[in-house]
Chains A and B, each alone.
Chain A
Amino acid sequence: MKETTHLVGVVTIVASVCLSTRPAIAAKYEAIDVKDGGTITGIVRWEGEIPKRHRLKVSGADEPCHAKPIPNDNLVVSKDAKVRWVVAHIKKIDHGKPFDIDPDKPITLDQKGCRFRPHIVVVPKDQPLRILNSDGVLHNVHLHAKKNEPFNRSMPGRMKQLDVTFDYSERIRVGCDVHKWMSGWIVVAKHPYYAVTGKDGAFRLEGVPAGNYTVEIWHEKFGKQQAEVTVTPGAEASVEFVLKQK
C-alpha cells in the first residue's frame, strides 16, 4: 500500500511512502484488446416487504457535521424492490480489457455530512484512492483491511485529502471512530469487471471476452451469491439475483 498526504490550508506536506513489497505470488490478470466482447447486465431484486430505511443514531460533538438526518446505507431497497449498494464482479477471469484509469480523475471517497460518499467505492489495485474531508472537522480514516495494511489515520479539519494505494484485491470496511455511525466499503478490484448497483438495482459489465463466467454479487448484510452466465460476441447476457430477509 502506498500513501500520499496533502494538507491544504495552513501547511502543505506531500509524503509518499511505499508500505510494502510487491507480492511475488498473485493471481495474474492480463489486459488484452477485447474485440467482439459482450456485456453482462444484472439486476438485484428484493423479495418480500420493502424494508424501511432507518436514520442512523448520531451523537457527540461536531453537530454541524451531522445536523441533517443521516440515512442508513447498509440496506437500501427502492419502492419497486430493487437493491442498491450491491457489488458484482466476474470471478476467476484472467484476461480482458485494460483498466480504464485516468490519473486526472481520481477515484474519491468523501467524508461529507459525517457520512462516507459513496457508501461503496470500487478502486483498481495500484490506483490511488483519494480520501477527502469536506466536513472540516476531525475524522479518522480507519480501514479494517485483512490483505492490505490496516490503516488508521487522523484527518483533522484542515486536511483535505489523503491518497491511498492498495496492493491486494479485497473488500475493506472503512469507519471513523470519532463518528462511529460512519461506515463504508472500499472494494479493491484486480480487474475492470466490477460494478456496484445503483438506485435501480442494476449493474453492467461491458467489454467481456466471449466465454462462460461466474458472476458473484456481495451485499454487506446478505453476503454472496453466484450465477453462471455465457457471454457471446456483441450480445448482452442478463442475470438476476434475489435477496430476501433472513
Chain B
Amino acid sequence: MKRGYGPLLVFAAIGLATGITLSQIACRTPASGPSTAAMNTLATHEGYELFAAHCAPCHGATGGGRGPAAIALSVAPRDFWHERFRYVSTLNGVPTEEDLIQSIRYGRRFGEMPANPQLTDTELRTLARYIREIQRLGWLDVLREEFAGDEDTSPDELEEISHIRVRPREPIHVARPERGFRRDLDTGRELYAANCASCHGLTGRGDALDKPLDEQGKPISVRNLTSGEFRGGAKVEEIFKRIRCGVPGTPMSAAVALTDEEVWQLVYYVRYLAGRT
C-alpha cells in the first residue's frame, strides 16, 4: 500500500492540540526501541496506515506505548514491542486473532483503551495482524540482542522462533457449568484461599504481594477484586479465561491444576467478592 502524509498529519494535529511538537514525539521513542530493520519491515505492512491513524496517538508511531496522547492517560498504553498481551484465551499466553479484535473493537473498560465501532471487520483483522507483527519483530529484536555473538545460535533459528512465539495455541473451550452444578460459596472460598489469596489477599483487596513487578520489572498492582474492575471483562466466561489462562506478562499464573468445575466455583466467588451475583 502506498503511504501518504495522512499519518504525519494526524500526529501534527494531535501535537498541536496537545502542545507537543514532532521533535518531542521523536524524543519519546524509547532508547531500546525497535531496530531500523524492524521498522522498515512494518512500513511495508498493509496495517501501517490504519495503525498510524487509529492507534499511534496513544501507542506511539512505533507501537512502543509512548504516543503523544499517552501523557494524559491514567493507564499507560501497551508497549507492543516489549510487553505481552494481557487478555488471552490460550494456554501459551498468545492471543488469538479474535482476542485482539475484541480488544480493539470493544476497548477495555476500566482501562483507557477506547472502543472502535467505526472500524470494519476487515480493518480490525488487518490491525490485529499488524499488531501481532509488531510483537513478533519486538521479540526478534530481543532474541538478537540476547543471543548476539552466540555461535551456537543461527540467525535463521531466531527468525523461526520469532514466528513460533507469536503463534497462538487453540483457544480453551469455555463451556457453561454442566447441569447439576451448584454455586457454593464455601467451596469457592476454600479454593480461593488455596489458589488466589497469596496474591489477592483473603479479602480480595489485592494487598498480599509485596511490591509486585511485571515481566519488564515495572511495578504492577494486583487487582482489587472487591472493586469490580475486571479489565478483561466482567462476564463469567471472561473471568473463567483469566483464571484458566492467567494474565501473560504479570505474576497472574495460569490455573492448569483446577478442574473446570473448580474454576467455575472460583468465577462465582470472585464475582461475589465484587458484589455481583
- Complex contacts, A61 vs chain B, CB 8 Å: 197-198, 208
Interface string of A58-80 (1 = CB under 8 A from B): 01111000000000000000000
Q: Is the CB of B152 within 8 A of A154?
A: no
Which residues of chain A come closer than 8 Å to B248, judged between CB atoms?
150, 152
Known: A15-B256, A19-B92, A177-B251. A149 touches B154 (CB 8 A): no
Chain A residue numbers with a CB within 8 Å of B152 are 27, 91-92, 169, 190
A127 within 8 A of B: no
- Whether A25 is near chain B, meaning CB under 8 Å from some CB there, is yes
Task: Indicate whether A17 sits within 8 Å of B161 (C-beta atoms), given known contacts A140-B253, A152-B248.
Answer: no
B251 closest partner in A (C-beta): A177
Q: B53 near A: Cβ within 8 Å?
A: no
B198 touches A27 (CB 8 A): no
SS of A interface (majority): loop
Give the distance in Å from the alpha carbon of A23 to the alpha carbon of B208 in the complex: 41
Q: How far is the CA of A162 from the CA of B197 in the complex (A)?
A: 22
Assess whether A150 is in contact with B93, with CB atoms less than 8 Å apart. yes
Answer yes or no: A159 CB below 8 A from chain B CBs.
Answer: yes
Chain B 149-161 interface mask (CB, 8 Å, partner A; 1/0): 0011110110011
A154 touches B154 (CB 8 A): no
A11 interface contact, C-beta 8 A: yes
Q: Does B20 contact A (CB under 8 A)?
A: no
Complex CA distance for A15 and B157, rounded to whole angstroms: 29
- Decide: A17 and B169 in contact? CB cutoff 8 A: yes
* A-contacting residues, B120-150, CB 8 Å: 142-143, 146-147
Within 8 A of B (CB), among A1-38: 3, 5, 7, 11, 13, 15, 17, 19-21, 23-27
B246 nearest in chain A by CB position: A152
Do A7 and B151 touch across chains, with their CB atoms under 8 A apart?
no
- CA A201 – CA B156 in complex, angstroms? 36
| B237 touches A (CB below 8 Å) | no
Interface centre among B146, B153, B154 (most CB of A within 10 A): B153
**Proximity bits, B218-262, A CB within 8 Å = 1, else 0:** 000000000000000000000000000010100111111101000
Q: Is the CB of A153 within 8 A of B256?
A: yes
Q: Which residues of B contact A159 (CB under 8 A)?
A: 257
Which chain A residues numbered 116 to 171 have a C-beta less than 8 Å away from chain B? 137-138, 140-142, 144, 146-147, 149-159, 162, 168-169
Number of A-B contacts (CB under 8 A): 115
- Tell me if B195 counts as interface (CB < 8 A to partner A): yes
Report the separation of the CA atoms of residues A59 and B157 in the bound assembly, to the nearest whole angstrom.
42
Which residue on chain A has the smallest CB distance to residue B149?
A224
The complex places the Cα of A158 from the Cα of B151 at a distance, in Å, of 43
Segment 196-243 of A: residues with Cβ below 8 Å from B: none
- Interface size for chain A: under 10, 10 to 19, 20 to 34, or 35 or more residues? 35 or more
Residue contact A153 to B254, C-beta cutoff 8 Å:
yes
Check A53 for interface membership: any CB of B closer than 8 A. no
B61 an interface residue at 8 Å Cβ cutoff? Answer: no
For A144, give its contact among B156, B157, B197, B215 (CB under 8 Å): B215
Which chain A residue has the least Cβ–Cβ distance from B202? A61
Verify if A107 is at the interface (C-beta below 8 Å from B): no
- Report B-chain residues with C-beta under 8 Å of the C-beta of A155: 257
Contact B161 A23 (CB under 8 A): yes
CB of A165, distance to nearest CB on chain B (Å): 14
- B254 adjacent to A19 (CB under 8 Å): no
Q: Nearest chain A CB to B267's CB is how many angstroms away?
A: 15
Residues of B within 8 A of A158 (CB): 194, 257
Contact of A154 with B195 at beta-carbon distance under 8 Å, contacts A20-B167, A144-B215 already known: yes
Q: Is the CB of B157 within 8 A of A146?
A: no
Q: Are A13 and B156 in contact (CB under 8 A)?
A: no
B275 near A: Cβ within 8 Å?
Answer: no
Contact B194 A146, beta carbon cutoff 8 Å? no
**Cβ of B165: which chain A residues have Cβ within 8 Å of it?**
149
Chain B residues with Cβ below 8 Å from A50 are none
Q: How far is the CA of A5 from the CA of B212 in the complex (A)?
A: 27
Is B209 an interface position by the 8 A CB rule? yes
Judging by beta carbons under 8 Å apart, are A11 and B251 in contact?
A: no
Which of A24, A142, A151, A157 has a CB less than 8 Å from the CB of B251?
A142
Q: Which residues of chain A are near B154, meaning CB under 8 Å? A: 25-27
B199 within 8 Å of A (CB atoms): yes
The smallest C-beta distance from A57 to any residue of chain B, in angstroms, reads 10
What are 20 A-B pairs at a CB distance below 8 A?
A5-B257, A11-B259, A23-B164, A60-B208, A60-B210, A91-B151, A146-B142, A146-B146, A146-B147, A147-B143, A147-B153, A152-B254, A153-B246, A153-B253, A154-B255, A154-B257, A177-B209, A177-B253, A178-B251, A190-B152
